[in-house]
Structure 1
Amino acid sequence: MSVKQRVIKPKNQQTKRALEQRAPKLIENTKTAMFVRGGRTSEQVTQVLKELCMLKKPHAVMFKRKNIMRPFDDQTSLEFFSNMNDASLFLFGSHSKKRPNNLVFGRTFNNHILDMIEFEIQSFHSLKMFKNLKVTEGAKPCLVFAGELFENDAEHKRLKSLFIDFFHGETISNIRLAGLEHVISFTAIANKISMRGYRTILKKSGCKTPRVELEEIGPSLDLIFRRTKLASDDLFKRASKQPKALKAKKKKNINVDVFGTTHGRIHMQKQDMGNLQTRKMKGLKRGAVEGSADDNKKAKIDNGDE
């Protein structure tokens, strides 16, 4: 027996706009991240949450109150907050004797937990410790991943995908060189992830392309793997599926070589070479006298005179 779902119509324009904003779209909105504090947090965890929230702004929601929850034991509270705030990403921070300086990165799909990865903060250097200029708030960062584990290990591959979701910002079609002012680097060594923040400095190089230098501005984080709860391959494939309307249609008989040159193949019908006209230049056309002489000679050959 099928149960019909009741559709509630919006009572005012503000509610209508909010529902339209949450409705499914071909090109989804930029993902929002929640920054949640647990029942007990250390000063270091609180500062990490605040500074990572600054990197994610304006698509970030910082919870001011503490929330007693254990994400790996019960996910209902996080799923409820995710649905209420229309946020598919979250960062949960807590501190206890068993798990000191604890961070949990995660994301949801269809209002249910998809992936969660837990870390221990080994070392942390705040933005305030770097006495130099910072980048513009909301600037789209350039993400750099170093280490073979990001390409070979299944958990690190999923972690790389999670970090890209978390930090990549708005989806854009074009970007100018001066707009690449922020670089976030992730380095994987064994069970340790090093996160560094840099500001790009463009200097004169004597040619059209400037010389690029990196200046560390923070925050600087060293994270140690603790626990993971990852979605199955089938569920992750379903969560990553793109609508058919967004997929680029393949053009037949067109390919691009290694040098970027486009080559096309044209299919033509078989030509009748007997009817091919070859004498198109006026100087090569046969005159009237030449034509009649050739015709007489051909007639003699047919009659057997020669």
Structure 2
Amino acid sequence: MDALDKVLKPKTKRAKRFLEKMESKLSENIKNAMMIKDGSVNARVTQVLRDMYARKKPYGVLYKNKNITRPFEDQTSLEFFLKKSDSSLFMFRSHNKKRPNNLVIGRMYDYHVLDMIELGIEKFVSLKDTNTSKCPEGTKPMLIFAGNDFDVKEDHRNIKNLIDFFRGPTVSNVRLSGLEYVLHFMALNGKVYFRSCKLLLKKTGCRRPRIDLEEMGPSLELVVRRTHLASDKLYKLSMKVPKALKPKKRKNISQDTFGTTFGRIHMQKQDLSKLQTRKVKGLKKRPAENGIED
């Protein structure tokens, strides 16, 4: 049994608030991401964690101490730290002779690892290496995926499915000036190119501005190494929506794919022979016609 599972009743108000925060809710909180590293020393991969943490603020937790763990062999220690930090996303960095400059990105479900993917870093450009202006902390990014591999290859399709790590908070409205952060993923020749850009709106003399992208870092060139995917049953269970959040069905009202609402009206059967129409002289029956009918 986990150490955190042994706490049955809180002894302080602070512990009570902590347990209530970790309970399941109809509308879950914004997903936090945990950045953790193993015992090996590598300044390059460590800087990747720091840059990703800087872009995930304030929805991120960075562990500076070294923690010896192997996510693909034993996930117990990793799940302990994720439950302790109340995080559902994680990024783990490691470096060894067999897999140098290693990066693992994954998601959690019910405090257990749902799926994860291992990537190798071949090229890296840090935030410090670019002298351009940066986006404010907490800016929601726009995600762009380029390349047919994201739709054809299974590994790249899984990378596209792990966008929860970069998606940011869910918002209902977006203003034009708030669209200033772009994450571009391109799949080419078996590699994944990650670019972080700032969106600039230039004046054009008309109502629509001209859009320019300015690279601000970090930038990565990644290669897929290993994957750990959830079973179809578990993945379907993690995507289940509570009944309270499902839209209630309204009788005789439907919507199409464009959001247009249609209504259906039910009427009783009408006797058209008794329908009062406009009396027109040309349609009036003559005596001769009446005699024929008799």
Q: Give the TM bin, normalised by the shorter chain.
A: 0.7 to 0.9
Which stretch shifts more, 264-273 or 176-185? 264-273
Aligned residues: 282
Instruction: Give the letter for the 1:56 counterpart.
Output: K
Query: SS state of the match for residue 140, structure 1?
Result: coil
In structure 2, the residue matched to 1:115 is 115
Q: Are residues 1:273 and 2:272 paired?
A: yes
Deviations 1:49-89 (A, max 9, x none): 00001111111110010011111111111011111111111
In structure 2, the residue matched to 1:247 is 246
Deviations 1:249-305 (A, max 9, x none): 4554534477x75544433222122332335xxxx799xxxxxxx9xx99xx89xxx
In structure 2, the residue matched to 1:290 is none
Q: Is the 8 A contact 2:253 2:261 kept in 1?
A: no
Instruction: Give the letter for the 1:149 counterpart.
Output: D
Q: Is the 8 A contact 1:94 1:103 kept in 2?
A: yes
Deviations 1:182-204 (A, max 9, x none): 00011112431110011111112
Gaps of 5+ in 1: 287-293
**Distance (Å, rounded) in 1 between the aligned partners of 2:148 and 2:243:** 33
Q: Is the 8 A contact 1:41 1:93 kept in 2?
A: no
Query: SS state of the match for residue 64, structure 1?
Result: strand
Deviation at 1:19, TM superposition (A): 1.6
In structure 1, the residue matched to 2:195 is 196
Which stretch shifts more, 261-270 or 203-212? 261-270
Query: SS state of the match for residue 274, structure 1?
Result: helix
Mapping 1:1-306, distance limit 5 Å: 8-162=8-162, 164-249=163-248, 252-256=252-256, 262-278=261-277
**Distance (Å, rounded) in 1 between the aligned partners of 2:248 and 2:33:** 33
Q: Is the 8 A contact 1:147 1:187 kept in 2?
A: yes
Deviations 1:165-194 (A, max 9, x none): 101111111111111110001111243111
**Distance (Å, rounded) in 2 between the aligned partners of 1:80 and 1:257:** 43
Q: Is the 8 A contact 2:123 2:221 kept in 1?
A: yes
Root-mean-square deviation (Å): 2.6
Gaps of 5+ in 2: none
Query: SS state of the match for residue 44, structure 1?
Result: helix
Instruction: Give the letter for the 1:102 counterpart.
Output: N
State the TM-score, normalized to the length of structure 2. 0.87
Query: SS state of the match for residue 74, structure 1?
Result: coil
Instruction: Give the letter for the 1:225 counterpart.
Output: V
**Distance (Å, rounded) in 2 between the aligned partners of 1:185 and 1:249:** 37
**Distance (Å, rounded) in 1 between the aligned partners of 2:117 and 2:280:** 84
Instruction: Give the letter for the 2:183 counterpart.
Output: I
Is the radius of gyration larger for structure 1 or structure 2? 1
Percentage of matched positions with identical amino acids: 52
Instruction: Give the letter for the 1:26 counterpart.
Output: L
**Distance (Å, rounded) in 2 between the aligned partners of 1:133 and 1:221:** 19
**Distance (Å, rounded) in 1 between the aligned partners of 2:42 and 2:280:** 98
